[in-house]
Amino acid sequence: PVADEFDGYFGITYTYDPGATPPVFEISAEGYFISLNLDNYPSEDICIVYLRQHGLRAILLVWGYGWRGTYAGSLYVGDPANWVGNHLVMLRWTDSNSDSLVQEEEITVEVVR
């Protein structure tokens, strides 16, 4: 619910089309997007990390399709060096070692602004 509320304020949108071939989930913001082929889930996940001012509050959204995407975004945010001058990150986690756990080396940043 919190993500839905702030998505509207910040112009973040998503598309969920389970009937597409392949089924797809896509997140977009500021003219950028990241898509997830749902046939690859849960061994692949995506996340948007978005930092923006809303009134007097600084809001940080870390929102993945599933918990692994959200966890990957949280891991990324945990390193302050990743935030130098950036406010929008879209990333993909791919379970390259098939252990179903998120490790930093499995995270790929696809958009950074």
The answer to whether residue 96 scores a pLDDT higher than 90 is yes
Is the pLDDT at 11 greater than 90? The verdict is yes
pLDDT of residue 4: 80
- Position 107, amino acid: I
Look at the block and give the residue holding tokens 């598309």. 15
DSSP string computed for 79-102: SGGGGTT--EEEEEEE-TTSSSS-
Q: What are phi and psi of 111, to 5 degrees?
A: -135, 135
pLDDT at 89 over 90: yes
Q: Is the preceding omega at residue 80 within 30 degrees of 0, hence cis?
A: no
CA distances from residue 4 to 28, 48, 72 in whole angstroms, order as listed: 13, 13, 20
| Edge-to-edge strands, sheet with 57-64 | 57-64, 44-54, 88-94, 107-112
